[in-house]
Every structure is written in C-alpha cells, then in structure tokens.
C-alpha cells in the first residue's frame, strides 16, 4: 500500500500547521529541562504549572485553528 502525505496549500493552512508544530515542540524535550526545577509556584512544582500551561495552550491553539478554518 502506497503511503501519501497531503501538504497544506493555502497560507492559512501553513500558518495552522506551523502553529500546531510549535505547540508540539513546546511540550517536548528541549523545554522540559528548563522547567524541571525544585521551585514552587502557587503551591505547585514548576513542571506541573508548565504542564497545565501546555494543556491550556494546546486547547486554545486547536480552538483558534478551527475558528479560522485553517485546515479546510
């Protein structure tokens, strides 16, 4: 079976694609060591605050992409 990949065609689609890749990059290895410290913010470790931020930012990004109809 031949595997194909469909790339974005419009500027809006490329912007949406780049935004989602940016969100994925924020949650991966290069940024994790920056927030893996034994400090407390609002009674929570920095890593937990970062994780909550990533969840909220991902949800907001996907909402924004669907609102502008970035992949249609």
What pLDDT was estimated at residue 51?
92
Query: Which domain, by its residues, includes 59?
Result: 23-67
> Do the domain assignments include residue 9?
no
Assign 4 to helix, strand or coil.
coil
pLDDT higher than 70, residue 72: no
Residue 44 bridge partners (DSSP): 41
Number of separate domains in the chain: 1
Q: What are phi and psi of 41, to 5 degrees?
A: -125, 125
pLDDT higher than 70, residue 68: yes
> Do the domain assignments include residue 6?
no
> Do the domain assignments include residue 51?
yes
**How many CA atoms, within 13 angstroms, populate the side-chain half-sphere of residue 26?**
17
**How many CA atoms, within 13 angstroms, populate the side-chain half-sphere of residue 35?**
19
For the stretch 7-42, pLDDT in tens is 889 999 999 999 999 999 998 888 888 888 889 999
pLDDT higher than 80, residue 46: yes
Assign 29 to helix, strand or coil.
coil
């Amino acid at each position: 079976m031949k595997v194909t990949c469909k790339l974005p065609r419009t500027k809006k689609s490329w912007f949406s694609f780049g935004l989602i890749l940016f969100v994925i990059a924020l949650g991966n290895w290069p940024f994790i060591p920056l927030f893996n410290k034994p400090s407390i913010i609002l009674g929570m470790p920095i890593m937990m605050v970062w994780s909550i931020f990533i969840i909220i930012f991902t949800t907001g990004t996907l909402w924004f992409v669907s609102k502008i109809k970035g992949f249609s």
